[in-house]
Amino acid sequence: MKTIELKAAKRDNLGKTATKQLRNEEKVPFVLYGGKETLHAAALLKDFNKLIYTPDVHLVKLNIDGTVHDAVIQDVQYHPVTDDAIHVDFLQLFEDKPVVIEIPVKVKGLAAGVKAGGKLTIEKRKLKVKGLAKDLPAQLEIDITKLGLGKGLKVGELDFENIELLNNKNQVVVSVKLTRAARAAGTTGEE
């Protein structure tokens, strides 16, 4: 999993006016929880943009006034008009404590159903997983070469080392749908 460092300063004033002043200075307030104590801090908006607006999941090294904490993003709140991050929740990571996080899905190979004229559809772009931070992959790679026309892969059919999938076992992740062209080719072939 990719790692990114974020420098931040601890904040003492937690009120509405102090938060508004931070946002006017193009800083984003955030909370780090999961450890012994909850930490409130703020970092520059441009640093957050590198972390948030990417399809990758990152482990974050939060440098709060010289003290480094390992964390992952749990939640982001956005401004309704500008789409800038206005508040972020981080979850502190520990080596012996499992974490629940969403990881992007990446398909590998060319499905047999696509070769036959079907259309590949990725139903779930991210899957919720539980595992230790050291075991979490950057992406969940799924091999679809044997996926036939009109078939799909469900969460229950997937298996990854040292992590547990938390999505519903019957939820379809990837499927090959039958297109009109493939259906027409199939009926002409039968006649």
Residue 190 has a pLDDT of 47
pLDDT tens-place string over residues 8-18? 888 888 888 88
Q: What are phi and psi of 66, to 5 degrees?
A: 95, -15
Q: What would the CATH number be for the domain defined by 2-93? A: 2.40.240.10
Same CATH topology for 2-93 and 100-190: the answer is no
Residue whose token pair is 């060319």 = 110
Domain-wise residue ranges, the chain: 2-93, 100-190
* pLDDT by 10s per residue, the chain, length 191: 788 888 888 888 888 888 888 888 888 899 998 878 888 888 888 888 888 888 778 888 888 888 888 888 888 888 899 888 888 898 888 888 888 888 899 999 888 888 888 888 898 998 999 988 888 888 889 898 888 888 888 988 888 888 888 888 999 999 988 877 666 665 554 44
Residue 129 identity (one-letter amino acid): V
Closest CA to 174 of 140, 142, 146: 142
Residue 6, classified by CB atoms within 10 Å of its CB into exposed (0-12), middle (13-18) or buried (19+), is: buried
| 99, 132 contact by CB (below 8 A) | yes
- Which residues are registered as beta bridge partners of 162? none
- What kind and span of H or E run contains 183? helix 180-190
Residue 183 has a pLDDT of 66
pLDDT tens-place string over residues 86-106? 888 988 888 888 888 888 999
**Which DSSP string corresponds to 65-93?**
TTEEEEEEEEEEEE-TTT--EEEEEEEE-
Closest CA to 62 of 102, 137, 10: 10
Domain 100-190: top CATH class:
mainly beta
Cross-sheet strand order for the sheet of 152-154? 119-122, 172-177, 152-154
